[in-house]
């Protein structure tokens, strides 16, 4: 799910003021484990909260997951595209190929980012 795709219950975009905002979303991947409902509410957290938004069941209000900020989603897509490009580099060792495959869709640590840079530098040398 991408938070960019959601709108408030009255059809307008989710506001970014300092109040929690609620939007409705169709859950494409799973239903609520408590009640089986397939629609979720996205509750935008207030400014300063460590999370961007919470995904909650639209019927029983059970917490389902945390939603990343749109900027975070964009960074993850960019990183995934970079990893895909690096997988196409010539002369990668099996370890490097496995390392790159294991990073797909994950938040990278500084050490992982450093290793990615070394792989790219080696291929460019």
| CA gap 54, 23 in Å, rounded | 10
Number of domains comprising the chain: 2
CA atoms within 13 A on the CB side of 54: 14
Domain span including residue 62: 3-68
The Cβ of residue 64 has, within 10 Å, a number of other Cβ atoms equal to: 19
Q: Does 61 share its domain with 88?
A: no
pLDDT at 29: 57
pLDDT at 122: 80
DSSP 34-71: TT---EEEEEEPPTT-SSSEEEEETTT--EEEEE--HH
Q: Does 113 share its domain with 99?
A: yes
Q: Does 54 share its domain with 102?
A: no
> Residue 26 gets which letter from DSSP?
E
55, 64 Cβ separation under 8 angstroms: yes
Q: Does 7 share its domain with 46?
A: yes
How high is the mean pLDDT in each 10-residue block of the chain (125 residues)?
37 41 52 89 90 91 90 84 86 92 87 89 70
Q: Does 7 share its domain with 56?
A: yes
| CA gap 55, 66 in Å, rounded | 6
pLDDT at 100: 93
Q: Does 84 share its domain with 60?
A: no
Q: No. of H helices and E strands in the chain?
A: 3, 5
Q: Does 57 share its domain with 77?
A: no
């Amino acid at each position: 799910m991408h938070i960019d795709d959601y709108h408030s219950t009255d059809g307008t975009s989710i506001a970014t003021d300092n109040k929690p905002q609620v939007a409705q979303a169709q859950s494409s991947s799973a239903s609520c484990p408590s009640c089986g409902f397939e629609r979720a509410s996205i509750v935008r957290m207030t400014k300063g909260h460590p999370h961007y938004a919470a995904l909650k069941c639209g019927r029983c209000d059970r917490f389902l997951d945390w939603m990343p900020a749109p900027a975070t989603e964009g960074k993850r897509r960019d990183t995934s595209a970079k990893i895909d490009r690096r997988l196409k580099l010539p002369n990668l060792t099996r370890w490097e190929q496995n390392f790159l495959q294991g990073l797909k869709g994950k938040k990278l640590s500084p050490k992982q980012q450093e290793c990615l840079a070394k792989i790219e530098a080696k291929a460019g040398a």
